[in-house]
Structure 1
Amino acid sequence: MSDTTQLWVIIIALGLGSFGMRFAFLGLVGDRAMPEWLLRHLRYTAVAVIPALVAPLVVWPTATGGEPDATRLSAAVATFAVGYLTKNVFAAMGVGAAVLVTLSALL
């Protein structure tokens, strides 16, 4: 940033935009029931967002300079397998973390 004024303008604009998006749902629609079709689609938000956040960290990790890493790929596969088989998020995270730590120590 070349100027602190420009930085503050950006921070305030992002804050107002964030407030506006939240107010649209909470302030304007918060006291009314949402349509069933919208509620049905909102159930899939986490399923769509979480893989989009995790996939780049597994496929192009910053720790390895953007190169795929067998340790992280193995931990991701183990996490997915345990999550799919047990339907338990905490078990999947625990196994994934254990595989990541174990393989990092061994390799």
Structure 2
Amino acid sequence: MIEKETFWIVTCLLGVGTFLIRFSFLGILGGRALPGWVLSHLRYVAVAVLPALITPLVLWPPATGGKTDTARLIAALAAFLIGLKNSIVGAVAAGMGTLYLMQFLLG
């Protein structure tokens, strides 16, 4: 176990570090206009983060004990393909419908 004093020192230092990281964006840059190249890069943050969050849940889902499931792979592919052509709502509906159908058909 970690000593009580060490725990609180580390906790306080991490809190200060977290504050400084957030303050660097909100406090220092909050009132200024960002350059165009920064704004163009920030546009792709959600596109990069969302697949990184979803991919492990599709490839190694907790519901199957971490084993890759064919039904989830097919549902993810269906949601991706519908999402390319239609709206997000259509992609979610297609993914859910395909997942339920494939789980029913595959057992």
Question: Could you state the TM-score of these two structures normalised by the residue count of structure 1?
Answer: 0.81
How many residue pairs align between the two structures?
105
The Cα of 1:50 is off from its aligned counterpart by 0.6
Gaps of 5+ in 1: none
List structure 1 runs of 4+ shifted beyond 4 angstroms: 6-14
Gaps of 5+ in 2: none
Task: State the partner residue of 1:97.
Answer: 96
CA-atom RMSD, angstroms?
Answer: 2.2
Q: Deviations over 1:52-78 (max 9, x none)?
A: 111111112222222210111011001
Task: State the partner residue of 1:21.
Answer: 21
How is 1:52-71 mapped onto 2 (pairs within 5 angstroms)? 52-71=52-71
The Cα of 1:51 is off from its aligned counterpart by 0.6
Q: 1:37 to 1:8 in 2, by over 3 A?
A: same
Question: Could you state the TM-score of these two structures normalised by the residue count of structure 2?
Answer: 0.81
